[in-house]
Chains A and B, each alone.
Chain A
Amino acid sequence: MTYEDWFREDRLPHIYCVGCGNGTVINCTLSAVDQMGWTKEETVFVSGIGCSSRAPGYIVTDSLHTTHGRAIAFATGIKMANPDLKVIVFTGDGDLAAIGGNHFIHGCRRNIDLTVVCMNNMIYGMTGGQGSPTTPQGALSTTTPYGSQESAFDLCGLAAAAGANYVARYTSYHVKELTRAVRAGLESPGFSFIEALVQCPTNYGRRNKFRQVLDQIEYFKSHALLVQKADRMREEGKKIPDDMIIIGELARQNRPALGVRK
């Protein structure tokens, strides 16, 4: 099998805009699932609301497209009730970190055996480009027309601090690395969190000086800083510019996992 065997072809065409980064993340995730050798029968995708959360509708497995922010809570019920199922959550920055923030940290605390893949486009894409908890300070959106006044969430830092066993961040530029990270998350018992920064040309890029799709992907490439290198820079007393994106495996713990058949 390849990742393409996991798609529901009768759902095409999909809703994603030209140039959207979500498709890359879906492909990376399905490649990782395929590499695990999991069957379609035992794999379940769960999501909340938003562009990212439409992904399970394009996948042939059982899937639950739930309410805004609540995917991890629904997934917790599925995994606790049937630990034989492999449960993967697709979410976005607004879904996960704003309305769903409480379920996110409690999922990490419980270390429930889920793999949560967050497509972080730094904007509410589906509703037309409003500021989200990960919109960078100063960035323009329809609800921050003078530039966002608020600080952005560090989703991976939050997950690690709350107790997730596996935490990694990459971007839609880092296809191979992202696939490997999702696979590592799938292999790791407990709560695995993979953040994938994605371009949203329709609602983020065009308001924030990324005139072409590739401009934002180029930005991800040029501003990505591997965590090991960032650590070295800190040790050497060098300042890491604020706009750098720390990528790599950011946490790996071995706390007891919930929802694993004993």
Chain B
Amino acid sequence: MSRIEFMQGNIACAEGALAAGCRFFGGYPITPSTEVAEHMALKLPKTGGIFIQMEDEIASIAAVIGASWTGMRAMTATSGPGFSLMMENLGFAVMTETPCVVVNIQRGGPSTGQPTMAAQGDMLQCRFGSHGDYSAIALSPASVQEMYDLTAEAFNLADRFRIPVFVMADEIIGHMREKLVVPDTVPRVERKPLQKGNLPFRADDDLVPGFPTFGRGYGVHVTGLTHDERGYPCATSPSVHEDLVKRLVDKVESARDAIASCDIVNPEAQVVFISYGAPSRAVQQVLHDTRRDDVGHLRLKLVWPFAESLLSRFPDAETFIIPELNLGQISREIERHTDRTVIPVPKLGGALHDPSDLAGLLEEVA
């Protein structure tokens, strides 16, 4: 039987991770994400798991990647400044195809910015922040329930695609308290093991190689250098590099539609709000208050990779209105996939969009 709780978003995130079988947390205190670490520190030792507070965020993600190679589901949680510090090692996780989950409870930036206020300013950083070409998977919870559900799902995506998966929440969702239905179990997709005799970095048809867990006799060499299918450094061959990086990108991008996750309201609408994370709550209020059938809502639970096919689910849409707690980071992505009118509604400072402002904008548009 599922049970009902009243819980803070960050704690729901930690509970979702535990339910998904996460048994390693490496982290460093940072507002507004610290409750995730604190809750893992409280709970992991009781489940036979490992909590370790590292000396900085660089070491945190390093320890998480190391733990993942022993076969454990491993995660960290941070916010903007810590996320910036993690970028190099996140690229290492991409290159070495290491599954792990990174939760970013976004706050106002740049720099130290607004530690206690919400923002969505890291949405492009999670996609492009580490050097080189790669692709990323980023989820965006808009409720305490989704802090639980999407964090659990992040581990499945990480293990399936062997990449770091980002849970890009924000201070509002992380710190709000609301109802949570805790399910008995969460769906679990296991990491595909490397078949003995196969080369460790030769991908299967899904473009993902089986995972050679350390300590099982695979004798695998794992390097952030460009490597061949044996895992051996091969850093000067143009074709080896091109083939590897294209596969790392393609294994995610080719699954764009398959893993797309969203809520759709009024698909026949002419005016459609597109949102993710906290601003979704303001949009939901507008829809609730106006009760207009010609106003739709596309709420992205999975932001990256952006599945442009979702836009065609609104065939009559003439205008997309996109409220974000940044200066239009995802609006730009949507603009490049549509010839319809795109109206970004950027907002900085930490406060959520006022539903009445969005309703006023709606009146002006249609």
Interface string of A33-61 (1 = CB under 8 A from B): 00000001110101000000010110011
Residues of B within 8 A of A85 (CB): 70, 214-215
Q: How many of chain B's residues touch chain A, expressed as a range?
A: 35 or more
Let me know if B327 is at the binding interface, CB within 8 A: no
Residues of B within 8 A of A44 (CB): 214-215
Let me know if A75 is at the binding interface, CB within 8 A: yes
Among the stretches B1-9, B101-109, B220-228, B274-282, the one at the interface with A is: B220-228
Interface string of A62-79 (1 = CB under 8 A from B): 111111001001111111
Residues of B within 8 A of A82 (CB): 70-72, 214-215
The chain A residue with its CB closest to the CB of B225 is A65
Among the stretches B58-66, B184-192, B312-320, the one at the interface with A is: B58-66
Smallest Cβ distance from A131 to chain B, in angstroms?
23
Smallest Cβ distance from A243 to chain B, in angstroms?
34
B50's partner among A54, A74, A81 (CB-CB below 8 A) is: A81
A57's partner among B67, B74, B233 (CB-CB below 8 A) is: B233
The chain B residue with its CB closest to the CB of A44 is B214
User: Is A78's CB under 8 angstroms from B67's CB?
Assistant: yes
Let me know if B55 is at the binding interface, CB within 8 A: yes
Let me know if B217 is at the binding interface, CB within 8 A: yes
Let me know if B89 is at the binding interface, CB within 8 A: yes
Let me know if B166 is at the binding interface, CB within 8 A: no
User: What is the size, in residues, of chain A's interface with B at 8 Å between Cβ atoms?
Assistant: 34
Residues of A within 8 A of B64 (CB): 77
The chain B residue with its CB closest to the CB of A82 is B70
Q: Roughly how many angstroms separate A248 CA and B64 CA in the complex, as a whole number?
A: 35
Known: A62-B219, A76-B52, A82-B70. 15 other contacts (CB 8 A): A41-B217, A46-B66, A62-B69, A62-B215, A64-B69, A65-B225, A70-B59, A73-B66, A74-B63, A75-B66, A76-B54, A76-B59, A77-B68, A81-B50, A85-B70
Q: Could you tell me which B residues sit within 8 Å of A by CB distance?
A: 23-24, 26, 50, 52, 54-56, 58-59, 62-72, 74, 88-89, 92, 96, 212, 214-225, 232-233
Can you list 15 pairs linking A and B with CB atoms under 8 Å apart? A60-B219, A62-B218, A62-B219, A63-B222, A70-B62, A73-B55, A74-B63, A76-B62, A76-B66, A77-B52, A77-B65, A77-B74, A82-B70, A85-B214, A102-B59
